[in-house]
Structure 1
Amino acid sequence: MKGDRVEIVVDAGDTTRTYEVVAGRAGRRVETAVRRGVVEVSEVTRSGSVVRTARFMANRVLALVEQPIPREDPAEAAARRPLGEVPES
């Protein structure tokens, strides 16, 4: 299932710019971090390898909107599934 999405709104002087980082493939996720005045948004694989990173000066970031895909506990999904139904792979 495809995943997370983060929108970053940045002050670009006389206007604002909106950037989007999306976990484009199944199993990937988007992580955000703020370190030393820099906002870092990274697309990460299941194994933890960083695929790509977007960096912005923290004092220029106006909004950071995280829109995660809902994560589901496998036990809860199995409990809601009717008896005899085989899960999709």
Structure 2
Amino acid sequence: MRGDRVEIVIDAGGEVRTYEVVATRNGRRVEINTGRGIVEVTEVTRGGTPVRSARFMASRILALVEHPATDRPVGQEVMEP
């Protein structure tokens, strides 16, 4: 869903770098696959075609945070009479 994003924080040998993969259009989603010491984050179309992807060594990842898109606002404003 548009607005899905995954934030990846890695150790780049003495410094910390942050990367984001975002579903940029309607109908696209972000998928995460792991295997053989590699984590792959891919933006995918409705039909399953990969649009772009990023690969990281699992041993270098400090944090991997998924931010799902929401259909409704998380917080609501409270109005008092």
TM-score (structure 2 length as normaliser) = 0.83
- Tell me how far 1:71 sits from its aligned partner: 6.4
| Paired positions, count | 72
Moved over 2 A (4+): none
State the one-letter code of the partner of 1:41. Answer: V
The structure number with the bigger radius of gyration is 1
**Higher helix proportion:** 1
TM-score (structure 1 length as normaliser) = 0.76
- Tell me how far 1:69 sits from its aligned partner: 1.3
List aligned pairs for 1:3-42, cutoff 5 A.
3-42=3-42
Matched residue of 2:33: which SS? Answer: strand
Matched residue of 1:59: which SS? Answer: helix
Q: Is 1:43 aligned with 2:43?
A: yes
Identify unmatched segments of 5+ residues in structure 2: 73-81
Identify unmatched segments of 5+ residues in structure 1: 73-89
Q: Tell which has more relative contact order, 1 or 2 (C-alpha 8 A, sep 6+).
A: 2
CA RMSD, 1 decimal: 1.6
Q: Percent identity, please.
A: 68
